[in-house]
Amino acid sequence: MKQGTINFIFKTADDSFIFGHRNSEWTGLGPFIEEDIAFASMAQDKIGHAWVLYKMLNEHAGLDDAEKLAFYRDINDFRCAHLLELPNGEYDFSLVRHFLFDEAEFLRYDLLLNSSFAPLAHMAKKFKGELKYHTMHAESFLIQLGQGNADSNTRMQKALEAAFPYALGLFESYEGENEVIADAVFPGEEILKNKWLERIAPIIEQANLKMPDLSTQPVFGGRQKQHTEHFAPMMHEMREVSSTDPNATW
């Protein structure tokens, strides 16, 4: 497996792993019980996706097993986008982040159906169905709250404006991307971003919200292993149990 493909899989896995943890933090705190269940279920899916990708790196690139790649890598080796490591904040921000990320992930996996790297194409076929339900959930609540009263509309618009620069960081280039494109592993982040913009614009309009300025400066850095101040404390919390005995078997 070439280094570009390894980097692509790492960033995709890290996104899912970190976002899965953030989603899990809503358990017991959602605005109503169905949302507790929904976010917990999506968290499980995300962490499951990450596990399959880490396992792929173990089996096809000879790297450590999935557990070690998830819990014992140096935190400065993670390639997740900044959007996903930000604290959950209020429900409006978490919902908008969920919408922006999962719309991109659905399209990413759709493009991966034609990947020249067979394990990615097989995985995409399996996971695209799960991501369809994630996008349905996000779209439903975005539209309901955007079309709600003046307060809910204002809060959703502010959350969208706050999250959008970070969401653009999902499409940051990474080392070896040109190689990945040339080998037809994935067509590239710029193509994905354009498809994403085309997909989210009419949904945002339907929600009675305004599309943020497309000239907004993206928040980059995650793909280059640079992280926000929130990342290290979150990783410490995630590893609290496993770090008590790294050699334990569960």
Token pair of 221 as six digits? 């850095």
Q: Give CA torsion, residues 177, 179, 183, 186, to 10 deg.
A: 0
Distance CA 98, CA 199 (A): 15
Closest-CA residue to 158 (of 167, 170, 146, 148): 146
pLDDT at 217: 95
**pLDDT digit string (tens) for 81-123?**
999 999 999 999 999 999 999 999 999 999 999 999 999 999 9
Give the CATH number for residue 65: 1.20.1260.10
Residue 176 lies in a domain: yes
Q: Give the rounded percent of residues in the chain with a pLDDT score beyond 70.
A: 96
Q: Which domain holds residue 118?
A: 3-244
Distance CA 202, CA 67 (A): 40
Residues comprising the chain, all counted: 250
Residue 35 lies in a domain: yes
pLDDT at 239: 84
pLDDT at 249: 63
Q: What is the pLDDT along the chain (250 residues), one digit of tens a residue?
A: 999 999 999 999 999 999 999 999 878 776 766 777 788 889 999 999 999 999 999 999 999 999 899 999 999 999 999 999 999 999 999 999 999 999 999 999 999 999 999 999 999 999 988 999 999 999 999 999 999 999 999 999 999 999 999 999 999 999 999 999 999 999 999 999 999 999 999 999 999 999 999 999 999 999 999 999 999 999 998 888 777 766 666 5
Residue 249 lies in a domain: no
pLDDT at 30: 64
Residue 107 lies in a domain: yes
Closest-CA residue to 154 (of 210, 102, 213, 206): 210
Number of structural domains the chain divides into: 1
Most distant CA pair in the chain, distance? 54
